[in-house]
C-alpha cells in the first residue's frame, strides 16, 4: 500500500512540473509584461518568473528598465 502511495505522489509531482512547464512555455509564446511606471515591454527570464510573487492575474516583478518593483499583468503579443 505504501508503495502505491509513494508512486502516486511521484506521478502527481511529475504532472505538476509538466503543467508548470507548459504554462511558462505558453507565456513565452504569446505574452509579455508592460511596466506601468515607464512603459517598458519585456519577457522576464524563467528564473524570475518562477521565483517572483504571484498576484491575482499577474506578478510582482522588478522592471529591467526603470528598476521599480511593480505589479504587472500579462499582455498578449500582437
Q: What is the pLDDT of residues 7-55, one digit of tens each?
A: 999 999 999 999 988 888 888 889 899 999 999 999 998 888 878 888 8
Residue 72 has pLDDT above 90, yes or no: yes
Max distance between CA atoms of the chain, in angstroms, equals: 57
Yes or no: say if 42 and 64 are a contact pair by the CB < 8 Å rule: yes
The residue ranges of DSSP E strands in the chain, in sequence order, are: 31-34, 41-42, 53-54, 59-62, 69-72, 75-76
Residue 1 has pLDDT above 80, yes or no: no
Q: Is the pTM of this model over 0.85?
A: no
Helix (H, G, I), strand (E, B) or coil at 41: strand
Residue 65 has pLDDT above 80, yes or no: yes
Amino acid at each position: 500500500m505504501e508503495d502505491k502511495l509513494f508512486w502516486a505522489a511521484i506521478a502527481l509531482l511529475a504532472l505538476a512540473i509538466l503543467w508548470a512547464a507548459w504554462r511558462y512555455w505558453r507565456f513565452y509564446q504569446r505574452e509579455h509584461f508592460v511596466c506601468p511606471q515607464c512603459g517598458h515591454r519585456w519577457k522576464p527570464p524563467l528564473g524570475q518568473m518562477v521565483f517572483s510573487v504571484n498576484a491575482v492575474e499577474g506578478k510582482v516583478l522588478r522592471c529591467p528598465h526603470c528598476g521599480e518593483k511593480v505589479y504587472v499583468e500579462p499582455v498578449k503579443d500582437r
